[in-house]
Chains A and B, each alone.
Chain A
């Protein structure tokens, strides 16, 4: 019946009308974008092993930002979709390769350890895909790359702040350094020692190092008392869990001098594991929590409402990075430039954690904030009197 009607209708048409049908179909086909209007962002983080607590928190910050972006209509009317890869459970290089060449991500966000970050940077630089890290602070990252950006204050700035603080506040002349060979490595210890010389500090030699999986640090810490050098402060460059153990064991062994640590000591994981021993530890914060004002309070409330606990600095830096990406993508469309160029043009921004910006190499210009741990909270030194 229907076929009959169609047949009858077609018979009514002349040859020009018949010819116009395929032409119109071709025009319709090319007029519509049948592809999904999604913006794919690759996220690579160690989500299931040693650094999973911090990485999961970071991912939650990123996911909250994506939820907010998509609720407001996405970026240029396109929904943001995260392609998350767990670097602990997959072959890292192959995961990054698949994100770039199969999932066609616009950008990769993540990287935790320096090695992981180097692999992502190496592949994304070759493929001209922008890479942003908001959690890896290793000083080498984003130093000589074109497509790599870092929204967190790097180790170099943290070391400078720590060294200056220990020299001015504690009159430390001979700090000792203990570092892990995996996350920070010998190069970071060397870099810290170089910075110390600027403040007329002489690092006690040799550096104390340990390998991943060490639980008893008494052998290394014994050197603090063995040599004639008598260090007057201890600097820990190690992951949060190891830092907590080192602090506990150093204090138990009778080391009563100031202990300083990089931003790992500001994490909730460190404070929780070190317990009472975390008190008075001097550390660095990637930002001043009050610098973001009401925006930061709103973020904290939203985060607590979504995940049921207070957001830490890793969650906040994840949220900030995702918002910077959103801004860059909007700028890219408005100014008709590449995403890399849009990111590189961000020399100043104002986010939930205060103002920041990229320098000419794509590194964060925000200075490191020195904090002291009091009553299980990392309090910025500038606000110490308030507590």
Chain B
């Protein structure tokens, strides 16, 4: 048999053609599938909020919240349910959540281990280093000052700009440490809790920073003012500050040694201006993971239980004592490890490493998912009040965010 070279070449072309066509088809199909998958996920996520709101509004209970009631003690009222099962929204996947804040435009901002996420008009948007919209690898905390969205993280501080991107302002702030754990806007000043103390900036200075004025520490006026162990003469017991909050005229700072509270009417450099609850001298365990104020007392969330400072805030000046009342699994908490807390309308919502709970009408109730899903480790809880008289409780976990309608638990 004689080989025909022309026929061989034709056969060769045919094989190449087929192989190429298969390759190209697979590639094109993969790209199309990828695009469809990513867009459909966004759609699913976005549909949830509006659908959930409609559903939960219909099923609202008429139970009224007694505004006058205060949480003072825990009763053993067996008539009330101790476990409540309600519908949780579907999880919107994000990296592990560190903080959640809701701004005045009802946008939900989420600080995560891989940047910032925003939920606006039922759309989830990411701001990460990968898409060039966020300057740092990680975000720890978020604060809204009425005009700007501030985000702090382990690499410093950044602000949201109108072009839809966050920009780093770390060099402008001259922070005592670039490791930022919390940011607080108290209406007058921006407080930044860092690994090496609390820095604070007046609104005028903030405006200058936003206008690109780089401050040097050469003059006293320009120097960053910092509260740490040495500048406060050990009034602030540790410089590693993790959380900061302002309750009336008191500035509360959680740190490695416990809790320090400064009366802002007196100089911070005077240790007598500070009230302290030391870890070693009290029953408080480290680290304090969250703190809230219920209008009367300060509550602390720790890995070994929930603590309430027995002295009410109004009596801090006259008869402060570090005596505390503790609550644990024995009292009905799902776990002793309190990760996050929020106070809203006479209710304390607690995120623990074994799910959600609330303290209301002097009773602890665990809140579980109606679907029977095992509770996740909750990293953050935040309240979103809504104009439609719906209050959502946002829950941040290792895998994303979801929410419940708080009225459904009533």
Q: Hey, which bits of chain A sit against chain B, CB under 8 A?
A: 14, 16-17, 19-20, 23-24, 26-27, 91, 93-94, 97, 101-102, 115, 118-119, 122-123, 126-128, 140, 143-146, 185-187, 190
Contacts and interface: CB of A to CB of B under 8 A. Distances in A.
B240 A17 contact: no
Contacts of A186: 280-281
Interface string B134-151: 000110100000000000
Interface string B21-46: 10110010000000000000000000
Given A19-B24, A23-B23, A23-B24, A93 B195 contact: yes
A181 B286 CA distance: 16
Contacts of B280: 185-187, 190
B137 A187 contact: no
B113 A127 contact: yes
A139 B242 CA distance: 22
Contacts of B23: 20, 23-24, 27
Nearest to B24: A23
A20 B113 CA distance: 41
B113 A126 contact: yes
11 contacts: A20-B19, A23-B24, A23-B27, A93-B177, A94-B178, A102-B137, A118-B287, A122-B242, A126-B98, A127-B96, A190-B280
B154 A16 contact: no
A128 to B, nearest CB: 6
B226 to A, nearest CB: 16
Given A19-B20, A119-B240, A187-B279, A126 B96 contact: yes
B281 to A, nearest CB: 7
Interface residues of B, number: 37
Interface string B267-301: 00000000000011100011100000000000000
B128 interface: no
B96 A128 contact: yes
- For the complex of A and B, 10 pairs with smallest distance between CB atoms: A144-B303, A20-B20, A186-B280, A101-B137, A97-B154, A93-B179, A23-B23, A93-B195, A16-B17, A187-B280
Given A16-B13, A118-B287, 14 more contacts: A20-B19, A23-B23, A24-B23, A26-B27, A93-B154, A93-B195, A97-B138, A101-B154, A122-B287, A127-B96, A127-B113, A140-B285, A140-B286, A143-B303
Name B's interface SS.
Answer: loop
B155 interface: yes
A97 B179 contact: yes
Contacts of B155: 97
B337 A94 contact: no
Contacts of A93: 154, 177, 179, 195, 240
Contacts, number: 76
B27 A16 contact: no
A36 B339 CA distance: 37
Given A93-B177, A93-B195, A127-B113, A144 B256 contact: no
A19 B21 CA distance: 9
Contacts of B287: 118, 122
Contacts of A20: 16, 19-20, 23
B182 interface: no
Contacts of A126: 96, 98, 113, 140
B409 interface: no
A355 to B, nearest CB: 29
Contacts of A27: 23
Contacts of B279: 187
A16 B113 contact: no
Contact of A127 (B16, B138, B177, B336): B138
Interface string B87-109: 00000000010100000000000
B304 interface: yes
B13 A123 contact: no
B195 to A, nearest CB: 5
Nearest to A102: B137
